[in-house]
């Protein structure tokens, strides 16, 4: 883009945004708490999905105070099915930090926002600009794609040098005092017009300034470096039934992947470990680790589940508590839950898949 084109760019984009923007629920408010919730929900999540979760989250926790005072399990329960559960845990920690250290007021400046758990440079810039109209440019996945095309950048936008270049461009093209709408307009352009794959250049409000269009590169940009293959991990889990009491679940440690969610007890298998050997180790570990005695009740079935950086192949063994019971006294790490009460606890996505498999393969408890 030439300097003259950059001058007109913001006006053209903002005029288009005023007419074309989607009426998303977080666009009807200036409440920084709600805008912050929406930004966290939108990380790694499609707008349609985030919208449904936003509504139930705000209904359940309408203010920073209600979120800060909630117990973690109820926060995870509202988040259930959305994945990346660290976001939910950090949201609550951040709400408490705002109450204790910022007098209950969400900070206005990106540097202060970044002191809160779960807020990185992108979210800090988004909240500061959208909630408080601070003059900071935001670069999300949509904006990376739009800038790569507008400036015909022929290198992967994830590379640090390209990122720096895009930040410098952002500083140049951001109109002072209009960051709230300008940032949202850039993201909206990427979501509605300058889409991944084939962009809708005929409908583009800034096509006259687009270098990729001029050079015939629109469907070749942005450049993506090849991704490394995703590793597959193997795991064996036991779905233990106990007549009358239900199924046995354990809770994951509060920190780390899926922290605080409930799942069937299990263990990681070695890459070449056979199902039979895995079952022996699994039953032994149930007895030693979680003090539940169980016997296998049939051949396993398998379930696949994908995470951002690996896939899991899960072998599910239907088991019966020994003598129809199984638990030895009060169990320190898990509990029996009747199927009709499962919806009251936050469970992992893989566990939900396994429950569906169990329902298909044998009658309910």
Question: Which residues bind to ligand SF4, rule: CB under 6 A?
Answer: 146, 149-150, 193-194, 199-201, 204, 206-207, 210, 212-213, 218
**Please, what is the minimum distance in Å from the beta carbon of residue 53 to ligand SF4?**
29
Helix runs in the chain, H state only: 3-20, 32-42, 47-60, 64-69, 72-79, 86-101, 110-113, 121-132, 141-150, 160-173, 179-192, 211-215, 275-289, 349-361
Q: Quick check: 261 and 282 in contact, CB under 8 A?
A: no
Residue nearer to ligand SF4 on the CB measure, 194 or 261: 194
Q: CA-based Rg of the chain, rounded to a whole angstrom? A: 25
d(C-alpha 337, C-alpha 47), whole Å: 34
Say how many residues make up the chain: 365
**Please, what is the minimum distance in Å from the beta carbon of residue 294 to ligand SF4?**
58
Residues in CB range of 241: below 8 A, 6 or more apart: 247, 297, 318, 319, 320, 321, 365
Residue nearer to ligand SF4 on the CB measure, 136 or 210: 210
**Please, what is the minimum distance in Å from the beta carbon of residue 143 to ligand SF4?**
11
**Please, what is the minimum distance in Å from the beta carbon of residue 227 to ligand SF4?**
23
Instruction: Please indicate whether residue 293 is annotated as part of the active site.
Output: no
Residue nearer to ligand SF4 on the CB measure, 150 or 173: 150
Residue nearer to ligand SF4 on the CB measure, 138 or 207: 207
Task: Supply 30's token pair.
Answer: 């200036």
d(C-alpha 166, C-alpha 153), whole Å: 9
**Please, what is the minimum distance in Å from the beta carbon of residue 166 to ligand SF4?**
14
Residue nearer to ligand SF4 on the CB measure, 80 or 207: 207
d(C-alpha 205, C-alpha 228), whole Å: 36
Task: Supply 28's token pair.
Answer: 């009807």
CA dihedral of 292, 298, 302, 303, whole degrees rounded to 10: -60
Of the residues 4, 6, 39, 263, only one is catalytic, namely 39
DSSP lists the bridge partners of residue 294 as 321
**Please, what is the minimum distance in Å from the beta carbon of residue 39 to ligand SF4?**
24
Question: Would you give the DSSP letter of residue 316?
Answer: E
Task: Supply 218's token pair.
Answer: 């629109």
Residue nearer to ligand SF4 on the CB measure, 82 or 152: 152
d(C-alpha 281, C-alpha 292), whole Å: 14
Active site residues per annotation: 39
């Amino acid at each position: 883009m030439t300097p003259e084109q950059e001058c007109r760019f913001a006006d053209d984009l903002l005029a288009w945004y005023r007419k074309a923007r989607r009426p998303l629920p977080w666009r009807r408010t200036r409440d920084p708490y709600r805008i912050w919730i929406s930004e966290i929900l939108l990380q790694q999540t499609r707008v349609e999905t985030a919208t449904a979760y936003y509504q139930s989250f705000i209904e359940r926790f309408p203010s920073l105070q209600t979120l800060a005072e909630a117990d973690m399990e109820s926060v995870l329960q509202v988040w259930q099915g959305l994945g990346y559960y660290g976001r939910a845990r950090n949201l609550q920690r951040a709400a408490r930090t705002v109450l204790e250290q910022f007098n209950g007021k969400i900070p206005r400046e990106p540097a202060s926002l970044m002191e809160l758990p779960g807020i990185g440079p992108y979210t800090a810039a988004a909240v500061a600009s959208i909630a408080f109209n601070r003059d900071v440019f935001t670069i999300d996945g949509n904006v990376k794609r739009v800038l790569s095309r507008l400036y015909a950048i022929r290198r992967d936008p994830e590379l640090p040098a390209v990122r720096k270049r895009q930040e410098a461009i952002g500083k140049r093209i951001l109109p002072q005092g209009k960051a709230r709408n300008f940032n949202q307009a850039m993201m909206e352009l990427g979501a509605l017009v300058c889409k991944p794959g084939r962009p809708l250049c005929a409908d583009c409000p800034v096509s006259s300034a687009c270098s990729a269009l001029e050079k015939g590169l629109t469907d070749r940009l942005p450049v993506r470096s090849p991704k490394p293959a995703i590793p597959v991990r193997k795991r064996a889990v036991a779905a233990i039934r106990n007549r009358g009491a239900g199924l046995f679940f354990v809770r994951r440690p509060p920190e780390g992947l899926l922290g605080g969610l409930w799942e069937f007890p299990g263990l990681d298998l070695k890459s070449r470990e056979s199902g039979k050997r895995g079952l022996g180790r699994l039953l032994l570990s149930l007895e030693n680790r979680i003090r539940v005695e169980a016997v296998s009740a049939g051949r396993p079935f398998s379930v696949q589940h994908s995470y951002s950086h690996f896939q899991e192949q899960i072998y599910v063994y239907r088991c019966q508590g020994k003598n129809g019971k199984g638990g030895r006294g009060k169990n320190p790490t898990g509990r029996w839950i009747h199927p009709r009460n499962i919806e009251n606890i936050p469970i992992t996505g893989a566990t939900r898949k396994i429950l569906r498999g169990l329902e298909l393969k044998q009658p309910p408890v």
